[in-house]
Amino acid sequence: MMNSANSNNHHQKHRLAWLRWAAPLAVFLLLLLLFWRGLSLDSSTLPSPLVGQPMPAFSLEMLHDASVLKTEQDFKGQVALINVWATWCFACHHEHPMLMDLAYLNRVPIYGLNYRDDREAALSWLEALGDPYQFTVFDPDATVSIDWGVYGAPETFVIDQKGIIHYRHVGVITINDWETVFLPLIEQLEQAA
């Protein structure tokens, strides 16, 4: 009786022996896949639902002259960058020299969207560090920035000639971003027109 139970048990064990290494291996591979995917996702840069859409309409004062109102129509005409910035934004300090280089390069016009800022502070920033923008619109209470889906600064939008948004970049533009993402997209948009 005892013997037969043992042999039965032994038989079962033998039959399922491969599970002993296959099951943990399968779990390991599954976790590897999940972590590989999960950790390579950057949850801080969200995709913008505005990509593929026309620019949200707005009417804002120009930073340099409160009596001049600018609208989204003033951004149209050629492929352009719209850069969301603020003087309180630490990363914007980092990005500013890059924007100056891009302005010097003069590949595409850059427009500024000043976000939740103080006009005097913003003006003296541009005075001290240089002004890379064609012009900047002033959005102190973020009403327009919210329509653009802005949730931080800096953010940079690429628009085409007709004002369709094609890309939203969250964070500082690096030289690598410019060469691998912005420039190819700009060329593609210019050729498509």
Q: Is 52 in the site for another protein (CB under 8 A)?
A: no
Nearest to 60 by CA among 7, 134, 137, 127: 137
Question: 144: how many CB neighbours lie within 10 A of its CB?
Answer: 19
Size of the site for another protein (CB under 8 A): 18
Q: Is 29 in the site for another protein (CB under 8 A)?
A: no
Pick one of 7, 12, 71, 124: the residue that binds another protein (CB under 8 A): 12
Closer CB to another protein, 85 or 131, in the complex: 85
Q: Provide, rounded to whole angstroms, the least separation between the CB of residue 105 and another protein.
A: 31
What are the tokens at 65?
A: 């002259």
Q: Per-residue string for binding with another protein, 124-163, x by CB under 8 A?
A: -----------------xx---xxxx-xx-----------
Q: Is 91 in the site for another protein (CB under 8 A)?
A: no
The dihedral formed by the CA atoms of 114, 167, 146 and 144, expressed in degrees to the nearest 10: 50
85 touches 94 (CB < 8 A): no
Closer CB to another protein, 29 or 146, in the complex: 146
Q: Is 41 in the site for another protein (CB under 8 A)?
A: no
Give CA separation, 12 vs 7, 8, 15, 129, in Å: 9, 6, 5, 77
Cα separation, 135 vs 167, whole angstroms: 20
Using CB under 8 A, list all residues that contact another protein.
5, 8-9, 12, 46-50, 116, 141-142, 146-149, 151-152
